[in-house]
Amino acid sequence: MGEQQPAGRSDVLVIGAGLAGVEASLTLANAGRKVYLVERQPHFGGNVIKSEEVFPNMECATCMIAPKQSDVIENRNVELLTLTDVKEVRGEAGAFEVTLRRSARYVSLENCIGCGACFEPCPVSTGNGFEEGMSQRKAIYVASAGVLPNAPAIAMGECLRSKGDDCTACRDACMFDAIDYEDKDEELTIEVGAIVVATGYRLGDAGLPEEHGKGELKNMLGAFEFERLRASNGPTEGEIRTRDGEAPKSVAFIHCAGREELGYCSQVCCRYLAKFARYAFDKLDGVEVYEFVREESVPGKEAQRFVEATLKKGVKLVRTAAPPKVSGNGAGVKVEYRANGKSESVNVDMAVLASTIEPAEGAADLAGLLGIETDRFGFFRTDGTEPASATRAGVFIAGCGTGPKDMPTVVLQAQAAAAGVLKLTGN
């Protein structure tokens, strides 16, 4: 296993610790490889941990992924580096030298036990991005209950200390000497034989008016907003509520919202909107559910049955040639559409648009650092017959970085990327 090779040459860098990065890392670690798993956020698990339940078995998402996350934390071959970014990549396949930049957490992962005693005394309050701004968090925070590693970070830009104040409220509250205001950003250089890019996607707002979720359009939501409303660890503890705190009596789900603008189908929206419809039926007694569908795209052996069973619960399915026009109507949302050659409209208490799957933030910069190509949409390009290989030797890709994908395909591509690494650098 690479004993004859120079140190580091059989080691692997995995960028991004969501579903794809976790799977690629564990597959490589189980083969005996040392893996550096870097994650930009203070926690890991990617977007999966935002979901309450996942298609097709409506399995609890965090319960599904948590054992994998524990494996990462406990696996001696995986070094998880949170709050870390890739800064520079030199060398070539089999001998990369990578500079990483690790931002200060200001909380010691060794000392912190995750009791959360530091949150309450912090005087700063700001919108929680993980919850799409639907709840508040402190300057010292965890994104949501249950995220891993089970330790907070201080967003120093928001902390009073960055504004010249000598606040020590969190340190005073900590019983374990875990808060370190002197923590510094640091750079570290690693040597690896191969790189796996697993930076995922950004849930985009093509098709979503800029004002969604605010003002006149306050009850028009994107996918993650609705997902977090149903999440038992979310801002409403799983109760689906309008911005005024009411249980909506009618909800519209709008397919293909940004498809025309983007030029591609985001692949998973038909399935997740069917899942959302189930959320609505589960949580809202007597709710009216509308689905505005352009093309029902439900490939695979499970999806159609799932969608059919959902429709049977009483979805009012409307076929429209183009996505409907959505506007604010008092506290509600007005949906105007054309069906069977006629213009019609319906008023609902809440509308959820199929948010689009778009290249991750910083994908273009990362492509530049790595010297790999992107396609016309900004996704990383793969080698035709090697669907987990980037356009440069030694760089592999797993997950939605190459385009929209369902979760099983993300996992498969991660395993395929691991195969590519193992074959390249000697198994």
Partner 1 sequence: MPGIGLYLCECGPNIADSIDLDLVAAEVEKDGKVARVERFKLLCSEDGKKFLAESIKEHGYGHVVVAACSPKQHQTTFEEVAAGVGLNPHMIQMVNIREQCAWMTPDKEEATGKALRLVRAAVSRVRYHRALEQKEIECNPDVVVIGGGTAGVEAARRIAHEGRKVHLLGVAGLGSEPGADDAPAERVEELKQDPLAEVHEGCTVQDLLGFFGSFIARVKTREEEEIEIRAGSVVLATGAKPFDPAGFPGYGYGMLAGVTTVGEHARAEDGAPALGTDRPVKSVAVIHCVGREKLGYCSGTCCMEAMGFARRLKQSSPETEVTEFFRDLCLPGIGDDGFHRETEELGVHFVRFRDVEVAQDGDGLAVRYQAEDGSSDSLAVDAVVLAVGVKAGPSNADFAGMLNLGLDEHGFFQSEHPVLNPVGTVTEGVFTIGSCRGPASTSDVLIQAGAAAGKVLSALVPGRRMKLETRTSEVADKLCTGCGLCVAACAYGAVTRDDARRVAVVNEVLCRGCGNCAAACPSGAAQHRQFTARQLDQEVTQVLG
Reduced to 3 states (helix: H, G, I; strand: E, B; else coil), residue 63 is: helix
Q: Which of 30, 125, 136, 347 binds partner 1 (CB under 8 A)?
A: 30
Nearer to partner 1 among residue 30 and residue 189 (C-beta): 30
Closer by beta carbon to partner 1, 247 or else 311: 311
The token pair that represents 83 in the structure block: 């709050």
Separation between Cα atoms, residue 353 and residue 226, nearest integer Å: 9
CA distances from 333 to 132, 155, 209, 217, 372 (A): 20, 36, 13, 7, 43
In angstroms, what is the minimal distance from the CB of 281 to partner 1? 22
Q: Site residues for partner 1, window 397-416 (CB under 8 A)? A: 402-404, 407-409, 411-416
Pick from 253, 301, 245: nearest CA to 275: 253
- Output DSSP code: residue 280: H
Binding status of residue 4 toward partner 1 by CB under 8 A: no
In a 10 Å sphere around its CB, with 0-12 CB exposed, 13-18 middle and 19+ buried, how is residue 189 labelled?
exposed
Binders of partner 1 among residues 226 to 265 (CB under 8 A) are: 259, 263-265
* Short-list 84, 83, 86, 69, CA closest to 21: 69
d(C-alpha 153, C-alpha 167), whole Å: 16
Smallest separation (angstroms) from partner 1 to the CB of 373: 14
Binding to partner 1 in span 188-227, by CB under 8 A: none
Which residue shows structure tokens 């149903």? Answer: 230
Please state the length of the chain.
427
Shortest reach from residue 280's CB to partner 1, in Å: 23
- State the number of binding residues for partner 1 (CB under 8 A): 69
Binding mask 58-77 for partner 1 (x = CB under 8 A): -x----x-x-x-x---x---
Query: Is residue 121 close enough to count as binding partner 1 by CB under 8 A?
Result: no
Q: Which residues bind partner 1 (CB under 8 A)?
A: 1, 23, 27-28, 30-32, 54, 56-57, 59, 64, 66, 68, 70, 74, 111, 113, 115, 117, 150, 175-176, 259, 263-265, 267, 295-305, 319, 340-341, 375, 377, 379, 385-388, 402-404, 407-409, 411-420, 422-423, 426-427
